[in-house]
Amino acid sequence: MSYGVAALGALASADAGEVYEALERPGWAPQGWVFGPVWTALYGMMAVAAWLVGRDRDRPRVRRAHTWWSVQLALNLAWTPLFFAARQYGLALLDIVLLLAALATTVALFRRLSRVAALLLVPYLLWVAFATALNGSIWYLNS
């Protein structure tokens, strides 16, 4: 499912490179080429984390953890078309803030079932926190 979301996101951001390069960005913004490799690694870690949690025998806790994982994944999917296709940087910021909260909840729930799964999501959590600051800066600079 992680790479399915990645593929849908790629379709929704066909001109992402051009959009990103045309934006006013803070000096600490990464080059556009950084995003592809980072997201590829993060989606892989997200998938492994969900698989590890799914192996636990406590089905109600697994269902709850996977529900939050699905919520954060849906918010992740929504961000790309909001930011790149619709160029709604404020709505994208709202979405990514909700994503950050859902992801923090997911990490906490995963931690109860698998420490390794939770640790696999930490780089994703840090990247989303960074992306939230970047989104906010871009919204400010381009509005």
The three-class DSSP label of residue 41 is helix
pTM of the model: 0.90
Nearest residue to 46 via CA among 124, 129, 131: 124
- The predicted structure's pLDDT at residue 10: 58
Are 103 and 73 in contact by the 8 Å Cβ rule? The answer is: no
The three-class DSSP label of residue 142 is coil
- The predicted structure's pLDDT at residue 17: 87
Domains parsed from the chain with CATH numbers = 2-141 (1.20.1260.100)
Half-sphere exposure in the Cβ direction for 126 (13 Å, CA): 8
The tens place of each residue's pLDDT in the chain, 143 residues long, gives 655 665 555 555 567 889 999 999 999 999 999 999 999 999 999 999 999 999 999 999 999 999 999 999 999 999 999 999 999 999 999 999 999 999 999 999 999 999 999 999 999 999 999 999 999 999 999 99
State the alpha helices, DSSP H only, in the chain: 2-12, 16-22, 35-54, 59-80, 89-113, 115-141
